[in-house]
Structure 1
Amino acid sequence: MEKGMIIVLNGVSSSGKSTLAEEITKFLPDFFAFSVDDYDLVIEKMEDRNNERLIPIETEYFYYRNAAMFSDRGVNVILDQILHDPIALQNFYETLKSYPILLAGVHCPAEELKRREKLRGDRQFGQAISQLNFVHKQEIYDIEVNTHANSMMECAKEIVDWLDSDTPLLGFEKSREQFESTSRSK
């Protein structure tokens, strides 16, 4: 069975990843949006956070393995997530190294992030801006979109057009090599 394609949308909180994932599914109905925020709800239901009875393994460990399981069965998924620390990066690169991946950077200017965060009201104010200190610093993307400069439909179309092109998927592999090289030198 051929592995399912994995589109990875990486960007800070409130950059529009979830909305963009849903927009992509309008162009690609055989793809399914799989958000790390939604997956974290599964983990949260299993835990007893009030009494600090927590699963002692980071959510991303399970999230990327689930994405791999979908792909192994030929299911195409769109990951909506944040590559935010060395542990998440290691889980990401280690787990998905043999999968077909389109790595997409989702960008939005700081002022718009602040505005969106305030409108949402479900995030700690300033979270997105603080994430700008580490998100998009080490990744080499196949494609990058700006959800403020362009509509979600335009951003989705850019990603779909790129996926439909004959351009090789190199972003994930180049990013993984750079991560491993940096990790070895520390």
Structure 2
Amino acid sequence: MEKGMIIVLNGVSSSGKSTLAKEITKLLPDFFVFSGDDYDLVIERMEDRENQRLIPIETEYFYYRNVAMFSDRGVNLILDQILHDPLTLHNFYKTLNSYPILLVGVHCPVKELKRREQSRGDRRIGQAIFQLDFVHQQEIYDVEVNTYTNSMIECVKEIVDRLENNTPLLGFQKSFKKLESSTITIK
């Protein structure tokens, strides 16, 4: 069985990943959104956080292995996530190293990130700005979109066009090699 394609939307909080993921499924109905935030809810329901009865393994460990299981069965996924720290990077690159991945950088200007955080009301103000210190610092993307300067449909078309052209998808592998040679430790 051929592995399912994985479109990875990487960007800071409030950059537009969730909206973009939903819009992509309108042009690619054989893809399913698998959000890191939604997966966190699965783990949260399993735990008893009030009594500090927590699963002693990082959520990303399980998340990326679930992504691999879906892909192994031919299911195409859109990951709405944030590559935000060395442990997440480790789990992402080590687990998905042999999978077909379109690595997408989702960008938005700082001023707009602040506005979106305030208007949403469900985010910690300043979270996106804090994440910019780490997100997009080591990735080499197959395609990059800006959800502020371009409409969602323009961003979606860029992603779909990149997926459908015959140029090899090398962003994941190049990013992994860059990371392995950097000062960030992934074991």
Map of 1:126 onto structure 2? 126
Counterparts of residues 33-112 of structure 1 (less than 5 Å): 33-112=33-112
User: Counterpart of 2:181 in 1: which secondary structure?
Assistant: helix
Map of 1:116 onto structure 2? 116
Matches of 1:118 and 1:49, distance apart in 2: 27
Q: CA RMSD in A?
A: 1.3
User: Counterpart of 1:94 in 2: which secondary structure?
Assistant: helix
Q: In percent, how many aligned pairs have the same letter?
A: 77
Map of 1:7 onto structure 2? 7
Matches of 1:115 and 1:151, distance apart in 2: 17
Shift of 1:183: 4.9
Amino acid at match of 1:125: I
Tell me how many residue pairs correspond in the alignment.
186
Shift of 1:82: 0.4
User: Counterpart of 2:182 in 1: which secondary structure?
Assistant: helix
Q: Please give the per-residue CA displacement for 1:47-98, whole angstroms capped at 9, x wherever unaligned.
A: 1111111111111111100010000000000001000111100000000000
Map of 1:138 onto structure 2? 138
For the Cα contact (< 8 Å) 2:39–2:63, is it kept in 1? yes
| Structure 1 consecutive aligned stretches of length 4 or more whose deviation exceeds 3 Å | 183-186
Matches of 1:120 and 1:46, distance apart in 2: 27
Identify unmatched segments of 5+ residues in structure 1.
Answer: none
Instruction: Output the TM-score relative to the length of structure 1.
Output: 0.97
Instruction: Output the TM-score relative to the length of structure 2.
Output: 0.97
Matches of 2:88 and 2:164, distance apart in 1: 29
